[in-house]
Amino acid sequence: MLQILQDLESAIGGTAGLSPVVLVGPGLVCVIAGLFIWLGGLGFRKLLLPTAGAITGAVCGFFIIGQNLISVVFSAAVAAGIATILERLFIAILTAALAAAVAFVVLAGPHIEYAQKAAALRPAEMSAQGKAISVRKSADIMKDYIIDAGQKIKHAGLQMSMHHWAIIMVLALIFLVAGVFLWRLAMALCCSVLGTILIFAGMILLLLHKGAVPVSIICSKSSYYATAFIAMIAFGTIEQLLLCKHPKTHTARRRRIGKNKEESGQTKEGWRTS
């Protein structure tokens, strides 16, 4: 899967011709949002779940329903509503989806074709006369790349055998059931995974803007970065479970304090009337 990003890295040649807004803006947003979700997603799930639902729905609408604004907005609104109304069910579905995505990345990797499709991604065409192209043109180039990457992923899925899909479905079912009964652990794990992915993605975009080759470095030291990725996920999950308190704990504590005050008031009133 990293080869798809490596295609972009080699094609745009350090992003000399792309507008900085296309990479720096999304890169900063990904890093900041990733840190927030990685360390505190469980505590702000009322805000995070509708947002995650909207993003998931928008992505599905873009790649599955149609590559137009209406399908993206409609699917995002529906998914956000489901995430808000059926909170725990959405957490279980999100956990299963992440498990299926990880399994797909592992199993579909050998089937992905790495041929570059968009000629517009060539450095010579992007930086004509040494000048950066416009923001709109840069956004169109990135859109073409995203569509091309989606086509490669679809092609990889079609090349996979049935037993690979069976493995993915079984893992998704296991994590779906676990997400229903262990929803706090599932939510913390999902937030940690999503936050870590956003941090890595944001740093890659920022380094690409600086002319570095972060994807090639990750590929050359895949075991090291895989270990760092897993360690970040584990740390984020444990940190959220320990520091993001269960809402029922606060409710029970408030009820207990209110009950103690009520009993204290009744005791004083009984002493005065006796």
**For residue range 60-87, what is the model confidence (pLDDT) as tens digits?**
777 666 666 777 788 888 888 888 888 8
In the predicted model, is pLDDT for residue 111 greater than 50? yes
Confidence of residue 232 (pLDDT cuts 50, 70, 90): very high
Average pLDDT over residues 10-37: 74
Q: Which two tokens stand for residue 89?
A: 């069910």
Has residue 175 got a pLDDT over 50?
yes
In whole angstroms, give the CA distance from residue 91 to residue 48: 11
Asked if the model's pLDDT at residue 235 lies above 90, the reply is yes
Q: How many CB atoms lie within 10 A of CB 31?
A: 18
Q: Which pLDDT does position 13 carry in this prediction?
A: 54
Print burial letters for 92-101: b (CB count within 10 Å at least 16), e (below 16): bbbbbbbbbe
- pLDDT tens track for 176-209: 998 888 888 888 888 888 889 889 888 888 887 7
Distance of alpha carbon 123 from alpha carbon 248, whole angstroms:
56
The letter for the amino acid at 201 is: A
Spatial contact of 48 and 162, defined as CB atoms under 8 Å apart: no
